[in-house]
Amino acid sequence: MVMNTIQTVSEVALEAAIKTYLARQSQEDSPLGEFDRGGRWYPYQDERRECCRAIRSPSRAFPYSLLKHCMTLRHVAHLYYVDEGKLRRALNQYRKANRGR
């Protein structure tokens, strides 16, 4: 079998990151985590990345601080181990290519 396109691992990761980011933005998908009894959301260990450390811990006043962060482009880039700038550029190219569809 001959493959017409050969993708590198980083291209596959970028494509997966784009799909995840768009799904999270449209709320078709959500980060992996759970709510505690106080209504605060915490990510599961598999979802947690280094970028999450800079985000305030959830509190009663800000119960979704980590949930909102886990839906950002920065977090998704860390989740897939891709450069944030490359992901942003790839996402812009994807949106331009799919306008009007």
pLDDT tens digit string along 51-89? Answer: 999 999 999 999 999 999 999 999 999 999 999 999 999
- 46: which residues sit within 8 A by CB, 6+ positions away? 32
Average pLDDT over residues 21-40: 97
Write down the pLDDT at residue 101.
Answer: 65
Q: What angle do CA 86, 87, 90 make, to 5 degrees?
A: 85
> What's the pLDDT score for residue 99?
85
Separation of alpha carbons 26 and 65, rounded Å = 18
The CA radius of gyration of the chain, in Å to the nearest whole number, is: 16
Identity at 68, one-letter amino acid code? K
As a whole number of angstroms, the distance between CA 74 and CA 4 comes to 32
